[in-house]
Copies of this chain bind each other. A is one copy, B any other.
Amino acid sequence: MLEATKQEKLRREGAEEELVQMREKLIDLANAAKAAKIPVIITIDGWAAAGKGSQIAKLIKYMDPRFYNVEPIRIPNELEKRKPWMHRYWMKLPKQGEFLILDGSWFSDNVKSYMHGSIDKDEYKRRIADVNTFERQLHDDGYLIIKLFLHITQKEQKKRLEKLASDEFTRWRVDEHDFVNNKNYDKILKRYEKTLEATNTEAAPWHIIPANDRFTAQYEIMRIVTEAIEGACEAKASGKPYIMPNDFPLTKYTPPKFDMVKTKKLAAINMNKELTEEQYRAKLKKYQSRLFELQNICYQRKIPVVIAYEGWDAGGKGGNIKRVASSLDPRGYEVKPIAAPEPSELARHYLWRFWTRLENDGHFTIFDRTWYGRVMVEPIEGFTPKERADMAYQEMNEFERWLTDWGAVVIKFWINIDKDEQYRRFKERENTPSKQWKITDEDWRNREKWDEYEKAVDRMVKLTSTDFAPWTVVEGNDKKYARIKALKTICDRLEERLGL
């Protein structure tokens, strides 16, 4: 595909005038994207010395700098290395109506890591799959992703490198490696082609920009960007997803399939589980000390632990989390209470606010309510259309798979109580002055929708109990039993992961 790209120079007559018109149009289109709330990501990859930086500068020259952000993608820094490899891209996601322009991207991040030998072939392939899934997730959420690859020939690259090296002001930009790579052009070309092909999907197809001639490159970039934004705005206005035309055959992409574990419906759970005070004290002590030891090993081995708590109102999540937290070295965990999203969170992919809350490897991140609000409160209360929410089962499995691939142990609890027990606890809260703040009209309203929620929970547990991140339903009528079950589950899962 790169061989096929003719490095033909565009005839300047006419094209210069067109370029001026496209620039003016881009100003209007950027406003239109803002009005239509379309978030736009433009990635610029390509050969060394292909002119990525100067092409970006030309692209944005006529855009409003309040609404774009240009980010160079380099070797991950110290903190980025302690997160999943795609974490840094999630962190940078633009808001609806804003532009993120990447100099380099997950494409070059992956392919360069592989060529430099810092990841092996399996990891390289896994990352290709990650990229396709990531782009599909964003596309499904209305993101417009425009991927540009600046292509220059071996001869042109050599010429440019020599020119850069000969000027004292630009010499620092090239080193020995660049010249070695230029000698190995054909080999790198093959790797680039394979990677481009493998990531040329409907959600985010590639555009190869002939860049031997700078004017031609600039024209082509402007043409593709303006066409894409225009197309996306038109599609959105007519309520359809935007499908970008592809320049070369799309790769066959199927979303990952996961192995599921067998689960039970809530109604089939035996809720008559309890512990005596004596049993509780003994087990609490045992599992809390064990957990503290296990945390220490996780810390030393840099294993991240992600614990997700969901459950009925008044189910006892708070007290349960407290028993887990108080086992741990406080410097090694953080509890993240999840409330209604803020405006800046609503303006991005719904998983963004969970990605941004992940602690470093070796640490525990404990979520008090989670991303699963997407398939419970959001569709039930009408914040998210049911069809959109239904897509989340797959997306959340993918998210948790990414966490697992990062090395995380992902533990998910549904704290279950029955309807009578909830009533008892609501009443108790109402009648206890120090607990009244914990009970609101909303709790009573939610309770009226018990059956609807129960159906949603059954479905969620069934569809998101992957073998790497299964749900544990915790029988919660007896708080003591529930706390011990959660602690024991965490200890068991960690021991399994640590091979103890």
Contacts and interface: CB of A to CB of B under 8 A. Distances in A.
Contacts of A318: 64, 66
A337 interface: yes
Interface string A17-40: 000000000001001000100000
Interface in A308-326: 318, 321-322, 325-326
Interface in A293-335: 318, 321-322, 325-326, 329-331, 334-335
A187 interface: no
Contact of A343 (B61, B66, B329, B342): B342
Contacts of A366: 65
A385 interface: no
Nearest to A325: B65
A434 B28 contact: yes
Given A79-B79, A101-B330, A330-B101, A65 B322 contact: yes
A186 interface: no
A78 B344 CA distance: 27
A57 interface: yes
Given A78-B78, A342-B342, A331 B72 contact: yes
A368 B66 contact: yes
Contacts of A31: 434, 437
B437 A57 contact: no
A77 interface: yes
B330 A57 contact: yes
A70 interface: yes
B434 A65 contact: no
A71 interface: yes
Contacts of A322: 64-65
B60 A326 contact: yes
A396 interface: no
Interface residues of A, number: 39
Nearest to A54: B329
Contacts of A57: 326, 329-330
B331 A53 contact: yes
A71 B360 CA distance: 13
A321 B65 contact: yes
A57 to B, nearest CB: 6
Contact of A66 (B77, B329, B331, B335): B335
A65 B331 contact: no
Nearest to A172: B300
A103 interface: yes
A7 B437 CA distance: 42
Nearest to A63: B322
Contacts of A342: 342-344
A318 B77 CA distance: 33
Given A79-B77, A342-B342, A344-B342, A103 B331 contact: yes
A198 interface: no
Contacts of A321: 65-66
A84 to B, nearest CB: 18
Contact of A326 (B61, B78, B334, B434): B61
Contacts of A263: none
Q: Which of A60, A71, A325 has the most CB of B within 10 A?
A: A325
A325 to B, nearest CB: 4
Interface of A: 28, 31, 35, 53, 56-57, 60-61, 64-67, 69-72, 77-79, 101, 103, 318, 321-322, 325-326, 329-331, 334-335, 337, 342-344, 366, 368, 434, 437
10 pairs of A and B residues whose beta carbons are closest in the complex: A65-B325, A70-B330, A65-B335, A66-B337, A72-B331, A78-B78, A342-B342, A61-B326, A66-B335, A66-B368
